[in-house]
Amino acid sequence: MKFIFGLVLMVLALGGFGGWQHMGAQALPQPSAASTPKQAAVASPQLASNQEINDRLEKQILDRIAGHENEPAEQVFKNIQIPCLKGTRATRLLLVMNLGYARALGVNCTYCHVEQDFPSDDKRPKRAAREMAAMHRMIDDRLKKMQNLEPSPNRAINCSTCHRGAVDPMATDR
């Protein structure tokens, strides 16, 4: 179970899910920056954190998919391509994206997703996330086959194993 959750978290953090739009729903609004620094200071004393932005987007999506939360993600959202995410409940997919992928990379949703078209594959980070998900599955498969490690049914990696809150895993302090 821990392995599956870690895998789902990795897939989400990398933006591997196809999109957030439900059955042709309109694009999600994003926070707009004020046009001048003075207006920005008045509008918001500080910029919203990535987590605040992601939590707000997750809530908006949950409101939009009300009544479909427990349906398989690929029936609720468009362009779900990662095999291990197919069949995942829609609400679980949102948690994995928000608390897994986004946190592991230290980004908000629009790092991988086109702001007005979440199912779009136009952004390179989203396409890279799918490749990373495939690499993740390959590494976990190899870990299971290793004979000279202490036996552990929970041995697996996730996005945070390397990224630790940064898009560039080589830039993180170890």
For 130, the domain range is 2-171
Model-wide pTM > 0.85: no
pLDDT class of 20 with cuts at 50, 70, 90: very low
Query: Looking at this protein, which amino acid is placed at residue 7?
Result: L
Q: Which residues contact 167 (CB under 8 A, 6 or more apart)?
A: 105, 106, 107, 111, 125
Domains identified in the chain, total number: 1
The more confidently predicted of residues 7 and 102 is 102
Distance CA(166)–CA(154), nearest Å, equals 24
Query: Looking at this protein, which amino acid is placed at residue 150?
Result: E
Does position 151 have pLDDT exceeding 90, yes or no?
Answer: no
